[in-house]
Amino acid sequence: MVERTLSIIKPDCVAAKNAGKVISMLEENGFNIIGMKKIHLTKKQAKKFYIVHKDRPFYDSLTDFMSEGPIVVMVLEKENAIADYRKLMGATNPEEAEEGTIRKLYGSNIERNAVHGSDSEESANYEIKFFFNELELV
Ligand code: CMP
């Protein structure tokens, strides 16, 4: 099934000038980038985006990090996009991620882990609508 998923290149990865390399990896792995923008979230917006984690001990630190600098948000489309992008990202903790994955290559630690990807169809729908309207998807 052709699916859509939301990808975020996080502030650590954008600041390190690795965004272009991540975008190349996405294209090389068959993902169509059907929407893309560079934005700087406020703390309030980051808290809203990560509302599912509101009771986790890392919520405050995570939302500080996600609002510290610009991010690149993209909608990716391909067959099986949600699971395939999660595989390409690698484990949440870069130390546990497989060789050649985005987080292994560009992540620093479990929080500053270079990229985000939707974890289910339900979260993809919420996350895509959070950043894009249908006119912005091509
Ligand atoms: P992400 O895939 O964007 O989803 C939630 C984010 O919270 C995750 O990537 C990490 O950036 C962060 N995160 C998850 N677990 C932890 C943790 N144990 N400590 C700190 N940050 C975490």
ipTM: 0.95
Annotated binding site for ATP: 10, 58, 86, 92, 103, 113
Given the structure tokens 């993902």, which residue do they identify?
31
Domain coordinates in residue numbering, the chain: 2-136
For residue 37, which amino acid is it? K
Which residues lie below 8 Å from residue 119, measured CB to CB, with a gap of 6+? 82, 86
Tokens of 138: 């091509």
The CA 53 to ligand 1 mean position distance, Å, reads 9
The CA 61 to ligand 1 mean position distance, Å, reads 10
**At the top level of CATH, which class does the domain 2-136 belong to?**
alpha beta
* 78: nearest Cα among 87, 69, 70: 87
pLDDT score at 26: 98
Q: How many CB atoms lie within 10 A of CB 38?
A: 11
Cite the active site residues: 116
| Residue numbers of the chain with a pLDDT score lower than 50 | none
pTM higher than the cut 0.90: yes
